[in-house]
Amino acid sequence: MKQSVKRSAVAVSFALGLAAVGGVAATHGPMAAPKVQVAPARLGDLQPEVFGIGTVEARLSYVIGPTSAGRVAALHVDHGDTVKAGQLLGEIDPVDLEERVQGALLSSQRAKLAVAALEAQVREADSRHKLALANAERYRDLVTRNFVSREAAEARQHEADMARAALDGAKASLEAARRDAARTEAELRGIARQRENLKLISPADGIVVSREAEPGNTVVAGQAVLRVIDPRSLWVRARLDQASSKGLRLGQPAQIVLRSRQDVAWKGRVARIEIQSDSLTEERLVDIAFDEMPPERFTGELAEVTVRLEPLKNALFIPTAAVRRLNGRTGVWRVENDRVRFYPVTTGTQTPDGRTQVVDGLLAGDGVIVYAPTDLNEGAKVRIGKTT
């Protein structure tokens, strides 16, 4: 009897021990429900920003080269030189241009002499015409007095008509000669302009950033020989994500961090927003101007750009870590009666400090799961741990 009671006590003790171990395993062991961190949706002000990468470029950049083919005769500046507007930077060998100028000059002089000769012919023809008209008038008067025959009067009128035709022909020849003289003058001016265009002149104050030909090189019309930029027009041409660019406006403040000076953030502003975006990368092209130019400036240098968008006042937001995607929908996990439920939400602006605006789907104070040690499934049992 005593042994039976003893065995029963041992069995009860063993059962209680198993129950205790099971309880510990169910609450703290590997079989326990995962513990999640929860944060409430809050109301507050958000400062959205958009980040992008770009390169330093010059808004005012000039490609300097000849308007006709030729050989580079001389270059008077080199890379890095400061130049002034109107300064002679180089010259192109005119080859046969001087001979063409001389030929055009002679043609112009010959045309002017032809005009002068024809003007004399016109004056002579005009004088003969006036004399013939006077004779014809006098003979018509004599016919009325029967001093001369009608045939003689008609002969004088015929002479007057011939003199008029000769005058018209001389005037036509003079007009043609004048037009020919104007044409030769235009050709002379054109050739002279070509000669002037062979001088490489700086169109503005700036810095020579490249020298792409050397004396003796043959270049074609429009080919770059020198490149000059206005260093005061430097800005950063950045690429910003289209999805984050809502509210982007001209004049918004920005910060620029150059790759060579990552310890300094230069102030800038949005100077231009390109109308055409990059459909392949889904990026918007934005030009950020410096408020104050860095002391050392290098075109083509990479830069990081952060643009501050318009602030959102009294917006509902949650930690960005709480936003999830499930079956193509954006939403959050919430805890109801120790089990998780997925709630679709409409999100808005995301800020760099890890906050996301909630446009629809939550109310202020609603708790959302920020962290879970395992993947969550609809209806899974969880325990609420730390609340942030």
Q: Is the pLDDT of residue 163 over 90?
A: no
Distance of alpha carbon 38 from alpha carbon 351, whole angstroms: 20
Distance of alpha carbon 202 from alpha carbon 260, whole angstroms: 30
Residue 230: what pLDDT?
93
Element holding 355 (H helix, E strand): strand 355-360
Q: Is the pLDDT of residue 259 over 80?
A: yes
Residue 153: what pLDDT?
81
The sheet carrying 61-64 orders its strands as 61-64, 226-229, 206-211, 82-83
**Mind listing the pLDDT tens digit for each residue in 44-75?**
998 888 899 999 999 999 999 988 788 899 99
Q: Which of 188, 200, 182, 230 is nearest to 87 (CA)?
A: 200
The encoded tokens of residue 323 equal: 């936003």
**Residue 65 sits in the same domain as residue 214:** yes
Distance of alpha carbon 240 from alpha carbon 281, whole angstroms: 10
**Residue 204 sits in the same domain as residue 238:** no
CATH code for the domain of 258: 2.40.30.170
**Residue 221 sits in the same domain as residue 249:** no
Distance of alpha carbon 194 from alpha carbon 221, whole angstroms: 11
Residue 148: what pLDDT?
81
Residue 96: what pLDDT?
66
Distance of alpha carbon 106 from alpha carbon 232, whole angstroms: 48
CATH code for the domain of 214: 2.40.50.100
Return the SS3 of 134.
helix
Give the residue from 187, 213, 228 where a domain finishes: 228
Q: Is the pLDDT of residue 83 over 50?
A: yes
**Mind listing the pLDDT tens digit for each residue in 116-136?**
998 899 899 899 989 988 988
**Residue 173 sits in the same domain as residue 208:** no
**Residue 127 sits in the same domain as residue 276:** no
- Asked, for residue 18, whether it belongs to a domain, the answer is no
Confidence of residue 31 (pLDDT cuts 50, 70, 90): low
Instruction: Please say whether the beta carbons of 213 and 26 come within 8 A.
Output: no
**Residue 373 sits in the same domain as residue 328:** yes
**Residue 117 sits in the same domain as residue 151:** yes
Residue 22: what pLDDT?
46
Residue 77: what pLDDT?
94
Q: Is the pLDDT of residue 191 over 80?
A: no
The encoded tokens of residue 54 equal: 């770009």
Return the SS3 of 248.
coil
Q: Is the pLDDT of residue 280 over 80?
A: yes
**Residue 220 sits in the same domain as residue 296:** no
Length of the chain: 388
Q: Is the pLDDT of residue 29 over 90?
A: no
Distance of alpha carbon 264 from alpha carbon 295, whole angstroms: 12
**Residue 325 sits in the same domain as residue 191:** no
CATH code for the domain of 39: 2.40.420.20
Number of domains making up the chain:
4
Q: Is the pLDDT of residue 4 over 60?
A: no
- Asked, for residue 11, whether it belongs to a domain, the answer is no
The three-state DSSP-derived secondary structure of 26-61 is HHCCCCCCCEEEEEECEEEEECCEEEEEEEEEECCE
Q: Is the pLDDT of residue 16 over 60?
A: no
Look up the domain containing 263 and give its range: 50-58+232-311
**Mind listing the pLDDT tens digit for each residue in 318-347?**
999 999 998 889 999 999 988 999 999 999
Q: Is the pLDDT of residue 192 over 80?
A: no
- Asked, for residue 302, whether it belongs to a domain, the answer is yes
- E strand intervals along 213-345: 218-219, 226-229, 234-241, 253-258, 261-273, 283-290, 302-308, 312-319, 324-326, 329-336, 339-344
- Asked, for residue 207, whether it belongs to a domain, the answer is yes
**Residue 138 sits in the same domain as residue 272:** no
Residue 186: what pLDDT?
87
When mean pLDDT is compared over 6-10, 113-117, 143-147, the highest value belongs to: 113-117
Side-chain half-sphere exposure of 272, counting CA atoms within 13 A: 13
Confidence of residue 5 (pLDDT cuts 50, 70, 90): very low
Confidence of residue 3 (pLDDT cuts 50, 70, 90): low
**Residue 72 sits in the same domain as residue 217:** yes
Instruction: Please say whether the beta carbons of 208 and 83 come within 8 A.
Output: yes
| pLDDT cut 90: percent of the chain above it | 43
- Asked, for residue 12, whether it belongs to a domain, the answer is no
- Asked, for residue 372, whether it belongs to a domain, the answer is yes
- Asked, for residue 276, whether it belongs to a domain, the answer is yes
Look at 4-8, 205-209, 219-223 and tell me which has the smallest mean pLDDT.
4-8
Confidence of residue 21 (pLDDT cuts 50, 70, 90): very low
Instruction: Please say whether the beta carbons of 225 and 90 come within 8 A.
Output: yes
**Mind listing the pLDDT tens digit for each residue in 98-108?**
667 777 788 88
Residue at 193: amino acid letter: R
Instruction: Please say whether the beta carbons of 78 and 375 come within 8 A.
Output: no
User: Stretch 217-242: mean pLDDT, rounded?
Assistant: 91
**Residue 352 sits in the same domain as residue 238:** no
Residue 24: what pLDDT?
42
Residue with more model confidence, 254 or 140:
254
- Asked, for residue 23, whether it belongs to a domain, the answer is no
User: Stretch 214-227: mean pLDDT, rounded?
Assistant: 91
User: Stretch 260-282: mean pLDDT, rounded?
Assistant: 91
